Amino acid sequence: MAEGEEEVNYASVVFKAGNNPPPAAKRGEETVYGEVKVQNGSKNEDSAGHRRFQHLACCLGILCVILLGGIIGVCVYLATLIHESDPNRFKENSTLLAINTKLSLENANLKRDNKNLTDQLDNLTQAYTVSESNNKNLSAEVKELETQNQELETQNEELETEKNNLTQQIQNMTTNWNELNISRAQWSIDSYCLGNTDKKCKACQDGWLLTEPSCCVYIDAQPPNRTTWEEAQEDCKGKNSDLAVAHDSEEKEAINTNSFGPHGFWIGLRVVNSKWNSWIAAPVDGHCALLFKNKKWSSVSCEEKHQWICQKKALTLSV
């Protein structure tokens, strides 16, 4: 060997297949060659160390190959297991997927039902609130009606009391009226019948003149005793009579015949709503009728002061 060349040692390693058979093209033994170069000269002293390193490298290579074979075997075994378990796993996955889909649908339905129930709860809450408010209003109305009923009962009692009082007053007035009628009858007898020289009742009481079918009295008042039309009317009412009114031409003639003096007498005619309350024409608002002895009927202010004539119905005497 020439100087300066490296010494090369070759080592052959044979690996035998394990459980997994090699392909048909490589049925023989695999030989792995490792090339180790060794320097001559000054490096001869390191030959032993290099050989030890070569042996260690060979061992590590062998271990790597064994480890690689084991990994390949494990992968093949796992692939076989996965392949064999794929149908069952696919079936399980399909079942789980179906169950998951069903649960998802049920979850969606539950969410929808929950939303519907929530909406119904809100509606019921609102309805309850409205009902509660209506109930309070009805309670207030019932109390108000009860109060009104009590007031009506009180008013009814008061009206019943007033009714009883009015009934008693009517009875009292009836009694008084009957007594008054008796008194008037007696007064009529005293006024129209007693004291007469011929012992007969007269159609008019003393001091009154007969102007059929009425009796009249002429109040020949002198100033300052003359009165307005209203005051004259009040005086006549105190005599159970009214201011004289001629109901026909004969009665008018009788009143005129008995009139006296130049001053007029108030009679029972006045303007009401621009009309006389009798047959005299040409009314003037605020005027009343005044009778003069010359048979003249005059329309003057009712506030003037004059004499007056009172008139009441004559007593009917049986023949």
* Residue with the larger pLDDT of the pair 51 and 39: 51
Q: What's the N-to-C CA distance of the chain in angstroms?
A: 208
List, in sequence order, every residue forming a beta bridge with 23; answer none if it has no partner.
none
Q: How far is 65 from 209, CA to CA, in rounded Å?
A: 175
Q: Regarding predicted confidence, which is higher, 221 or 51?
A: 221
Supply φ then ψ for residue 242, to 5 degrees: -135, 170
Structure tokens at 158: 């008061």
Which residue type, as a one-letter code, is found at position 202?
K
Predicted confidence (pLDDT) at residue 5 exceeds the cutoff of 50: no
Residues 6+ apart with CB under 8 A from 32: 12, 13, 15, 61, 65
Least confidently predicted of 147-151, 263-267, 270-274, 282-286: 282-286
Instruction: Tell me the pLDDT band of 230, cut-offs 50, 70 and 90.
Output: very high
Measuring CA to CA, which residue among 267, 172, 156 is closest to residue 217? 267
d(Cα 98, Cα 102) in Å, to the nearest integer?
6
The predicted structure's pLDDT at residue 123:
92
Is residue 266 within 8 Å of 305, Cβ to Cβ?
no
| 227 phi, psi to nearest 5 deg | -130, 170
DSSP string, 53-97: HHHHHHHHHHHHHHHHHHHHHHHHHHHHHHHHHHHHHHHHHHHHH
126 Rama sector, left if φ>0, alpha if ψ -120 to 50, beta otherwise: alpha
- The pLDDT, as a whole number, for residue 308 is 93
Q: Which CATH superfamily is domain 209-313 in?
A: Mannose-Binding Protein A, subunit A (3.10.100.10)
Instruction: Provide the 8-state DSSP code for 220.
Output: -
Give the start-to-end residue ranges of the domains of the chain. Answer: 7-86, 209-313
Residue with tokens 């399909």: 94
Convert the pLDDT of each residue in 133-186 to its tens digit: 899 899 999 999 999 999 999 999 999 999 999 988 898 888 878 777 766 666
Query: How much is the pTM?
Result: 0.42
CA–CA separation, 291 vs 303, rounded Å? 16
The count of C-alpha atoms lying within 13 angstroms of the C-alpha of 245, restricted to the half-sphere facing its C-beta, is 16
Neighbours of 293 (CB within 10 A): 15
What per-residue confidence (pLDDT) applies to 2? 43
Q: How far apart are CA 293 and CA 309, in angstroms?
A: 12
**162 CA to centre of own chain:** 39
